[in-house]
């Protein structure tokens, strides 16, 4: 049963202490999963409207909860592997109120929640901490429509790095009917909002949309440390707004927004990012970025970033934009490119009381 579910980095076993396939309206609640050698719960293939609620997972050898659908990867040389229209996958799963800690005792590529070839999952009100790898891992884009909100996630990636507390990949397209009811290679947006994320240990990339991850919406998240936003070798399609990132290392890191697909430009606005001492990159633009005497060339499509508030105790000239091999202050960038309208750097940090107030308002506390 060991296999590679989809285009993400992870492989896992299609098994669990509780294994379900072909279910509708399943509920697993108020159970304790402790010191298991492998996965806790596996939703395999067709499952609809499953609820995994108020369970306690600790010291699991691998992933606490996983959902893994099926497509035909074998017939005709595997040419049907992208076809998800058969519906043989978990859909409308609710993962809520679970306490997950100390996962990945044996398998380091593990998480509190893992999904592959799965769509429209709701992941909310979970407390997730002390993990070997990511807290939540979305292994592919598939049909999209997953919503992640009101979770507390910290102490992730304690035995790994180059990752985030919430991680995603999307290296191959899938044909599904999830977004509109009609077969399409374009997935619905995945949304992460109102989460409290501490990007410590190796999980510095907060919401790590890696290697082709597109169609993600991040809003109203409170992030401590790490990165504000990552678009890893994607083609845009990200929206990030109204997030608060405190003591950030990097604001935004993006690789590619393709010419001819401006409607999928990354959108970054109304963000509040606080940088500590020293020099920090507010935006890191990829190797294709350059500024000429006439501004940004038409061949390069920068993110649509504007109206962001940046705090820096080191001063205005210590918050920079990296464009290819060159660095610019916010004021220089605005002058040369006419981008970043409304974005400002404030060289006095908010008080602790003000920071606490920001967090409470954001999380509706």
255 pLDDT above the threshold of 70: no
Q: Spell out the residues 6+ positions from residue 360 whose beta carbon is closer than 8 angstroms to its own.
A: none
Q: Quick one: pLDDT at residue 235?
A: 62
The overall average pLDDT reported for the chain is: 91
Strand pairing class (56-60; 216-219): unpaired
Between CA 309 and CA 306 the distance in angstroms is: 9
Q: How confident is the model at residue 10 (pLDDT cuts 50, 70, 90)?
A: confident
User: Which segment of 51-55, 138-142, 149-153, 323-327 scores lowest on mean pLDDT?
Assistant: 323-327
Alpha-carbon span 44 to 19, nearest angstrom: 7
Tokens at residue 233, please? 């070798």
Q: What number is the average pLDDT over the span 292-313?
A: 84
Alpha-carbon distance values, 30 to 53, 64, 96, 99 (Å): 7, 14, 11, 10
pLDDT greater than 60 at residue 270:
yes
Q: What is residue 278's predicted lDDT score, i.e. its pLDDT?
A: 80
Distance CA 2, CA 175 (A): 24
Q: Is the pLDDT of residue 256 over 60?
A: no
Residue 258's pLDDT band, with cuts at 50, 70 and 90, is: low
Q: What is the pLDDT of residue 37?
A: 94
pLDDT (mean) for 154-178: 92
SS3 of 32, please?
strand
Residue 167 has pLDDT above 90, yes or no: yes
Higher pLDDT, 297 or 269: 269
> So what's the pLDDT on residue 128?
98
Contact 147, 117 (CB under 8 A): no
5-9, 132-136, 195-199, 290-294: least confident range: 290-294
- Can you give the pLDDT at residue 246? 93
Least confident of 85-89, 229-233, 361-365: 229-233
Model confidence at 149, pLDDT cuts 50, 70, 90, reads: very high
Lowest mean pLDDT among 73-87, 100-114, 230-244, 318-332: 230-244
Q: In the predicted model, is pLDDT for residue 135 greater than 90?
A: yes
Per-residue pLDDT tens over the stretch 21-40: 999 999 999 999 999 999 99
Of 98, 92, 128, residue with least CA distance to 30 = 98
Pick from 231-235, 244-248, 291-295: least confident: 231-235
Task: Tell me which of 139-143, 151-155, 230-234 is least confident.
Answer: 230-234
**Tokens in use for 75?**
């017939």
Please report where in the chains the tokens 């899938």 appear, as a residue.
Answer: 174
Look at residue 335 and give its three-state secondary structure: helix
Q: What is the pLDDT of residue 294?
A: 78
């Amino acid at each position: 049963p060991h296999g590679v579910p989809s285009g993400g980095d992870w492989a896992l076993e299609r098994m669990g202490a509780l294994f379900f396939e072909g279910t509708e309206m399943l509920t697993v609640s108020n159970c304790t999963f402790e010191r298991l050698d492998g996965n806790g719960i596996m939703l395999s293939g067709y499952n609809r409207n499953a609820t995994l609620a108020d369970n306690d997972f600790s010291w699991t050898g691998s992933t606490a909860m996983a959902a893994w659908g099926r497509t035909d990867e074998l017939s005709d040389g595997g040419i049907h592997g992208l076809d998800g229209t058969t519906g043989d996958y978990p859909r409308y799963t609710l993962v809520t109120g679970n306490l997950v800690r100390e996962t990945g005792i044996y398998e380091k590529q593990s998480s509190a929640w893992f999904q592959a070839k799965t769509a429209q999952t709701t992941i909310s009100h979970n407390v997730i901490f002390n993990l070997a790898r990511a807290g939540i891992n979305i292994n592919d884009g598939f049909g999209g429509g997953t919503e992640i909100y009101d979770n507390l996630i910290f102490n992730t990636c304690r035995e790994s790095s180059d990752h985030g507390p919430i991680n995603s990949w999307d290296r191959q397209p899938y044909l599904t009917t999830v977004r509109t009811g009609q077969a399409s290679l374009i997935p619905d947006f995945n949304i992460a909002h109102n989460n409290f994320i501490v990007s410590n240990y190796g999980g510095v990339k907060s919401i790590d949309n890696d290697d082709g991850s597109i169609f993600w919406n991040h809003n109203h998240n409170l992030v401590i440390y790490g990165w504000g936003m990552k678009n890893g070798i994607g083609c845009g399609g990200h929206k990030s707004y109204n997030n608060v990132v405190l003591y950030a290392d990097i604001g935004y890191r993006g690789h590619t927004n393709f010419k001819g697909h401006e409607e999928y430009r990354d959108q970054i606005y109304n963000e509040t990012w606080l940088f500590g001492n020293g020099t920090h990159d507010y935006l890191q633009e990829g190797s294709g970025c350059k500024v000429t005497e006439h501004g940004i060339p038409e061949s390069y499509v920068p993110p649509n970033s504007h109206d962001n508030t940046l705090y820096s105790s080191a001063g205005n000239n210590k918050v920079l934009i990296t464009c290819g091999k060159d660095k610019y202050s916010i004021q220089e960038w605005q002058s040369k490119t006419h981008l970043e309208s409304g974005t400002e750097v404030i060289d006095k940090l908010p008080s602790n009381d003000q920071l606490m107030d920001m967090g409470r308002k954001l999380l509706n506390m």
